[in-house]
Amino acid sequence: MKNVDKYDKSTSAVCGLFCPACTLFIGTKEDPKRLRSLSDRFKLPLEEVRCSGCRSELRSLHCRELCTMYKCARGKGLDFCGSCPDYPCQELKEFQCAMPHRIELWSSLDRIREVGPEIWYAEMLEHYACPSCGTINSAYDLKCRKCGNEPGSAYVAEHRDEIIKQLGKMQ
C-alpha cells in the first residue's frame, strides 16, 4: 500500500485501531471491488464507506458520525484514548469487545504509551503484513489478499478463531 510505511497520525485511530489494516481503508486506497462489496453489504452509498483514516478528511459514515471516541478525545485535547484519565471508559470497553478487529485495543493503547505512536505504527505494519509478500491485510483477511499466503498476517494467526466466528455471523 502506498504511503503507509511511515507514521501517519491521520491513520492512527484515537481508540488504538490501526487504520491501514481496516477493510474500508484498504478498499478506499487500492481495492474498489472490496469497497463496492462493503457498500452493498452495509446498504450504504459508496461515498459513505470510503475512509482514509480516523483523523483524515475522508472518513466513513461510522468513523465520521457514529464514533464518539474521536469526538471525545478531540474535545479533551488527547491524541489517544489511552492517555485519558477515564481510560478505559465504558464506551471504549463496549466498543473493544464487539468485534474481533478490536481485540488488541488495550495492548495497542498500552504500547502507544510505552514506546510512542511512531514505534507502535511500525510494529503494526509488521503485525498486519503478510509474512510472505509484505502486503498489509485487514483483520478479516484470513489469506493474504495479494499472494494467498495463509495466514494473511500475525494478527490473523493469533485471532483466527474469533475472526472465523465473526465472519460466520456476517453471512
Taking Cα atoms as reference points, which of 134, 147, 105 lies closest to residue 18? Answer: 105
- Backbone phi, psi, residue 92, to 5°: -65, -40
The set of cell numbers assigned to 16 is 488504538
**Residue 137 DSSP one-character state:** -
Number of H helices, E strands in the chain: 9, 0
- What is the per-residue pLDDT for 165? 85
Q: What is the pLDDT of residues 120-151, one digit of tens each?
A: 999 999 999 999 999 999 999 999 999 999 99
pTM: 0.90
Is residue 27 scored above 70 in pLDDT? Answer: yes
Q: What is the pLDDT of residues 29-48, one digit of tens each?
A: 999 999 999 999 999 999 99
